[in-house]
Amino acid sequence: GKWVYSFGGGKAEGKAGLKNLLGGKGANLAEMANLGLPVPPGFTIPTTVCTYFYDNDKTYPKELEGLVEKALATVGKLTGKRFGDAKNPLLVSVRSGARASMPGMMDTVLNLGLNDVTVEALATLSGDRRFAFDSYRRFITMYSDVVLGLDHHHFEEILDHYKDAKGYTLDTDLDGDDWVEVVGQYKEAVARETGSDFPQDPHAQLWGAIGAVFSSWMNARAVTYRKLHDIPESWGTAVNVQAMVFGNMGETSATGVAFTRNPSTGESKLYGEFLINAQGEDVVAGIRTPQDITEEARLASGSDKASMELAMPEAFKELTRIYKLLEKHYRDMQDMEFTVEQGKLWMLQTRSGKRTAKAALRIAVELANEGLITKEEAVARIDPASLDQLLHPTIDPKAKRDVIATGLPASPGAASGEIVFSSDEAAKLKSDGRKVILVRIETSPEDIHGMHAAEGILTTRGGMTSHAAVVARGMGKPCVSGCGAIRVDYGRGTMTIGARTFKTGDIITIDGAVGQVLAGQMPMIEPELSGEFGTIMGWADKVRKLGVRVNADTPADARTAIRFGCEGIGLCRTEHMFFEETRIRTVREMILSEDEQSRRQALAKLLPMQRADFVELFEIMKGRPVTVRLLDPPLHEFLPHSQAEVEEVARAMNTDPRRLADRARELAEFNPMLGFRGCRLAIAYPEIAEMQARALFEAAVEAQRRTGEAVGLEVMVPLIATKKEFDLVKARIDATAQAVSRESGAKFGYQVGTMIELPRAALMAGEIAETAEFFSFGTNDLTQTTFGISRDDASHFLGTYIDRGIVDVDPFVSLDQTGVGELVKIGVSRGRNTRGSLKVGICGEHGGDPASVTFCHQVGMNYVSCSPYRVPIARLAAAQAAL
Ligand code: PEP
Ligand code: MG
């Protein structure tokens, strides 16, 4: 293989298309070099070397050393320097770069090549001793941390002591001689802690750093990050070695990050932050609060620090030229890192920028309107799951806000929860089912698990591109960053703002859209959807083939779903209409009745309630199809549990509580999910199906009378295993329809179909379709019964199954396409063989999972049905499946 790819001097051996080989950073550096942009020369050691490294006991291909030396010499030629030279030394950065961006997860070393000799050369060449030794101490700190495993705090303590002794407060108070002294103490610390001197040979330094970067692919935080983002371990990382340029060479130097469009709102304006006289990671680390890039942004933020536009007009003009060029070239919003060295701009990175879901929509729509991408590409660019972010509630504007502090609006959305100050605590409480807000001075990659567990994140330090802000946006979590008025005391577990103190466990709310921190729990309201959301959805609807319906049992759900663009109800679970307290009592009466007569009494009470509910649903759905499922109550959810509940039902039924308790015990099941539920109830007590059918048909007549529009009624029989079961229930339904039609003198259409949620039903689909007019796959039960894994108990061991790789994802969340999916395919094809026009849908939870939606499209279903908030996700996923 080819083990080294050079770039620089207006050309490169790599290109953007080689991301798998060169990693994102390396591929884009090569691309920028090929575009003639100012990129410090360097070379990329590809991911294939990482694979070799792990396959061969952490060793390298034997040609690698020679190739690296050769590439270094080329870099030297392009810069007019030489690696390790005592007079004119080449210094390099060594950075990781995987196929998928893993911000901050792996290691980086800057200023490599400095030693006791080359630091003097750097001082002479730059004419700045302070700069040279400041760079050297940064290098010693980073290298020791990354390569020698010596933690930062050793060096921080030395520096703090030194500053105290000298009466300094800021790092910038130290002059050249001070840094010489500090460097001496740093080296002593390295010798003391590691037992060897800090390495002086630049080549040894280089190989140490390369090895450390490859090794960091397997560090704990990288492993966690990959797990969370489904990044395969086999991909490996590349290593980029690149000539250093210095943003810390005084007031004409700077370093920064910029987005070609606003990553929070999507607005088409250069957006970013920079720091004068600073190096690489200072901006992202959020240690100093950065300055705005454009003057417009500075005016808006009210910052008293100069913008780049005014402070460095030449470099700003060059950045403007380059960002426009990069966005056109990549046809997407770019996230760039740059350094200005003594007035000259250098590009260190470009990549497609991470963005909020809201920004993603706006950017996609505007890029399409600008003609840079097609509408289909715009649709393809939105991650369906990310729409969830937009559909999150925000704080009710009418609510009184007790604002305790204001920071930066780092990631939109609002959330309430208990204060926790550590990520471990956040993760622990989350697993106990509690909602927490993670409060940190700043976050680091070690906090990923805590951020994931938290409802929202609050930091007291750092800008809009700080770690907390970037990661929270990616996760779609509300975040307020840089909230400087808050003093956090980790030891005491408190945060203090002026005279007010909050402690661990106190409830706060953060509003990531405006950057506010509020005391207590706030009332939330449903989100308003942007114009771009509607536009993308409209474009998606044009390409998708699958219909999208909603699982809705209440008028509120149905209305929400209509707003989100559902095309009908795919599942109305009628037992859910009885969850309300007075109704559940009546359902209990019905279930506990010992004879048909008392059962009919209870049913007579339920009939008007059901009818009224159905009328309302039909009216809301305005002629769209509405699939109503006959009662399917797992008995354990409906039987009375306490003595008080038993007595209450007994009173209503006028029977002896003891007798009723006996009856309840009689009905209790060992395995309710496989018990007396679904159509089995309707078979044993046909009067239940009869009551429901009557309520439905009478409601259809009523709604039709009120709206003048025919109701798209589909009556669905649950949990059948055999055609006989279905036919028996269908006969009752049809008879009731005739009766209602006769009594009312009205005509109405309807279909009777069934759920396919047992393996036998899928296998016998051909026979069942002789009488069933539609199928709806109940993949919750089908997954349960195909795996033989209880829906209610699976969580105890599914985690282990996922950790061990036995299943990739929870099969109740994303359809098991090979196993359960095989039964679905069989069901669809056998059903359609019998009845060509058979309408087929899905109404299990999988109907709103993007991967499962793709599968449903592929097997030729007519529609998917999912919970209201997932309707837009399903619409988009269906469109992408059709592209
Ligand atoms: C199913 O089993 O997939 C289904 C939709 O029904 P329920 O979840 O109500 O059992
Ligand atoms: Mg079911």
State the CATH architecture for 393-525. 3-Layer(bba) Sandwich (3.50)
Q: Which ligand is nearest to the CA of 779?
A: 1
Two tokens, residue 98: 């995987």
622 near 673, Cβ under 8 Å? no
Q: How many residues does the chain have?
A: 883
For residue 795, pLDDT over 70 is answered with: no
Is 0.95 exceeded by the ipTM? yes
Q: Per-residue confidence at 177, pLDDT binned at 50, 70, 90?
A: very high
- Counting from 1 in the atom list of ligand 1, the atom nearest the Cα of 718 is 6
pTM of the model: 0.81
Q: Per-residue confidence at 784, pLDDT binned at 50, 70, 90?
A: very high
State the pLDDT at residue 584. 81
634 lines ligand 1 (CB under 6 A): no
841 lines ligand 1 (CB under 6 A): no
Task: For 192-221, write each residue's pLDDT tens digit.
Answer: 999 999 999 999 999 999 999 999 999 888
Ion ligand 2, residues whose Cβ is below 5 A away:
757, 778, 781
Question: What would the mean pLDDT of 706-715 be, rounded to a whole number?
Answer: 95
For residue 398, pLDDT over 90 is answered with: no
State the CATH architecture for 254-355. 2-Layer Sandwich (3.30)
Task: For 638-682, write each residue's pLDDT tens digit.
Answer: 788 788 888 888 888 888 899 888 888 888 888 888 999 999 999
Separation of CA 716 and ligand 2 centre (Å): 12
State the pLDDT at residue 465. 65
Give the CATH fold of the 544-574+587-630+678-882 domain.
Answer: TIM Barrel (3.20.20)
Domain boundaries, the chain: 5-243, 254-355, 393-525, 544-574+587-630+678-882
Give the CATH fold of the 5-243 domain.
Answer: Dna Ligase; domain 1 (3.30.1490)
570 lines ligand 1 (CB under 6 A): no
CA separation (Å) from 125 to 128, 129, 516?
A: 8, 10, 48
For residue 792, pLDDT over 80 is answered with: no
Question: What would the mean pLDDT of 294-298 be, rounded to a whole number?
Answer: 94
| Proportion of the chain above pLDDT 70, given as a percent | 98
Long-range Cβ pairs for the range 599-603 (8 Å, 24+): 599/685, 599/687, 599/688, 600/687, 602/653, 603/687, 603/688, 603/691
State the pLDDT at residue 638. 77
For residue 423, pLDDT over 60 is answered with: yes
Q: Which H/E stretch holds residue 502?
A: strand 500-503
CA separation (Å) from 566 to 537, 752, 880?
A: 11, 22, 17
For residue 282, pLDDT over 70 is answered with: no
DSSP state of 76: H
Two tokens, residue 484: 């400087």
User: Helix H segments across 634-778?
Assistant: 635-638, 643-653, 657-667, 679-684, 686-707, 723-744, 759-763, 765-768
For residue 707, pLDDT over 80 is answered with: yes
Question: What would the mean pLDDT of 746-768 be, rounded to a whole number?
Answer: 97
Q: Is 508 helix (H, G, I), strand (E, B) or coil?
A: strand
In angstroms, rounded to a whole number, what is the distance separating the alpha carbons of residues 296 and 257? 17
Q: Per-residue confidence at 283, pLDDT binned at 50, 70, 90?
A: low
Q: Per-residue confidence at 382, pLDDT binned at 50, 70, 90?
A: very high
Question: What would the mean pLDDT of 361-386 be, rounded to a whole number?
Answer: 96
Separation of CA 780 and ligand 1 centre (Å): 5
Task: For 515-525, write each residue's pLDDT tens digit.
Answer: 999 999 999 88
Two tokens, residue 574: 């009628």
Question: What would the mean pLDDT of 709-730 be, rounded to a whole number?
Answer: 97
State the pLDDT at residue 287. 60
Q: Which H/E stretch holds residue 756?
A: strand 751-756
Question: What would the mean pLDDT of 48-77 be, rounded to a whole number?
Answer: 96
414 near 393, Cβ under 8 Å? yes
677 lines ligand 1 (CB under 6 A): no
State the pLDDT at residue 580. 66
State the pLDDT at residue 286. 54
CA-nearest of 554, 548, 768, 789 to 679 is: 768
Write out 569-622 in H/E/C secondary structure.
EEEEEHHHHHCCHHHHHHHHHHHHCCCHHHHHHHHHHHHHHHHHHHHHHHHHHC
Q: Per-residue confidence at 284, pLDDT binned at 50, 70, 90?
A: low
Question: What would the mean pLDDT of 730-744 be, rounded to a whole number?
Answer: 98
Q: Per-residue confidence at 581, pLDDT binned at 50, 70, 90?
A: low
For residue 242, pLDDT over 70 is answered with: yes
CA-nearest of 46, 59, 61 to 98 is: 46
Q: Which amino acid is at 583?
A: R
847 lines ligand 1 (CB under 6 A): no
For residue 285, pLDDT over 60 is answered with: no
Separation of CA 685 and ligand 2 centre (Å): 19
CA separation (Å) from 442 to 417, 423, 445, 451, 582?
A: 19, 12, 10, 12, 50
Task: For 827-855, write each residue's pLDDT tens digit.
Answer: 999 999 999 999 999 999 899 999 999 99
For residue 173, pLDDT over 90 is answered with: no
CA separation (Å) from 772 to 176, 472, 575, 724, 847?
A: 86, 48, 22, 11, 21
Question: What would the mean pLDDT of 234-256 be, rounded to a whole number?
Answer: 94
Residue nearest to atom 10 of ligand 1 (CA): 781
Separation of CA 789 and ligand 1 centre (Å): 14
23 lines ligand 1 (CB under 6 A): no
Question: What would the mean pLDDT of 16-45 be, rounded to a whole number?
Answer: 97
Q: What are residue 504's DSSP bridge partners?
A: none
Two tokens, residue 45: 């050691």
Q: Per-residue confidence at 38, pLDDT binned at 50, 70, 90?
A: very high
Residues classed as catalytic: 467, 843
